[in-house]
């Protein structure tokens, strides 16, 4: 199985254009993490370990012992955390635009962009899109919970260099050459900590998933999953 994990403020519906392009790779499933999309929130805060638990529950429900995971942005962080903590469940990880260098200062900059009142006033179309996307918890709650998650990442990032060094499965870290959120340098540094890490830079690609060329991304995922190092572990 190939599992697709969305980013912060995202939902599985964002993968609608990508799904048919990777269908030839085998069974493909996109998951709404708790509190995102139409999925109701749980009685707990947004945390990476809780989202990883959502993935474990899905795999168990589907009877899948081992899956490859594509994670966009925060989804990639969730995938890597699962690979570190439950390695038997993950055959390979492909991330795109995943921020792996966190500090309190970095988190504060990101959280400053998550005020619901400011978004509603300055970018009402974005607020409307978020409202339509997050019917389970409501977009304002998703923003508040995401802010708490980012502060937690800034204070206690679970994916340190030592943790990355313990991930045994093949990992491809991809970043767009026009990504203003995630730097090539932090992605490269994380890749060097991974025993079976590789790096890919997608041309003409900014951070927002809606602006990522779906065809180019699908080709990259397929190429990665078809490599000998990945195929013999799947």
Dist. CA 6–CA 78, nearest whole Å: 10
**Domain 2-101+157-231 is found in CATH 3.10.105.10:** no
Stretch 80-95: mean pLDDT, rounded? 98
Model confidence pLDDT, tens digit, residues 134-180: 999 999 999 999 999 999 999 999 999 999 999 999 999 999 999 99
Per-residue pLDDT at 234 exceeds 60:
no
What is the band of 230 on the pLDDT scale with cuts at 50, 70, 90? confident
- Long-range contact set of residues 58-62: C-beta below 8 Å, sequence gap at least 24: 58/3, 58/29, 58/31, 59/1, 59/3, 59/89, 62/1, 62/29
Average pLDDT value over all residues in the chain: 96
């Amino acid at each position: 199985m190939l599992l697709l994990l969305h980013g912060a403020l995202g939902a599985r519906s964002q993968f609608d254009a990508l799904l048919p392009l990777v269908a030839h790779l085998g069974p493909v499933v996109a998951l709404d993490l708790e509190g995102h999309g139409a999925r109701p929130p749980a009685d707990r805060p947004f945390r990476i370990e809780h989202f990883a638990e959502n993935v474990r529950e899905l795999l168990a429900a589907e009877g899948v012992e081992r899956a490859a995971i594509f994670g966009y942005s925060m989804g990639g962080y969730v995938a890597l955390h699962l690979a570190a903590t439950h390695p038997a469940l993950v055959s390979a990880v492909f991330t795109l635009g995943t921020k792996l260098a966190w500090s309190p200062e970095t988190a504060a900059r990101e959280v400053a962009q998550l005020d619901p009142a400011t978004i509603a006033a300055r970018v009402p179309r974005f607020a409307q899109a978020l409202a339509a996307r997050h019917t389970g918890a409501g977009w304002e709650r998703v923003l508040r919970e995401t802010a708490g998650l980012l502060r937690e990442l800034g204070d206690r990032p679970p994916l340190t260099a030592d943790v990355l060094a313990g991930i045994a499965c093949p990992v491809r870290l991809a970043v767009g050459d026009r990504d203003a959120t995630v730097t090539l340098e932090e992605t490269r540094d994380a890749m060097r900590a991974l025993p079976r890490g590789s790096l890919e830079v997608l041309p003409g690609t900014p951070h927002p998933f809606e602006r990522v060329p779906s065809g180019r991304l699908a080709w990259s995922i397929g190429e990665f999953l078809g490599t000998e190092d990945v195929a013999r572990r799947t």
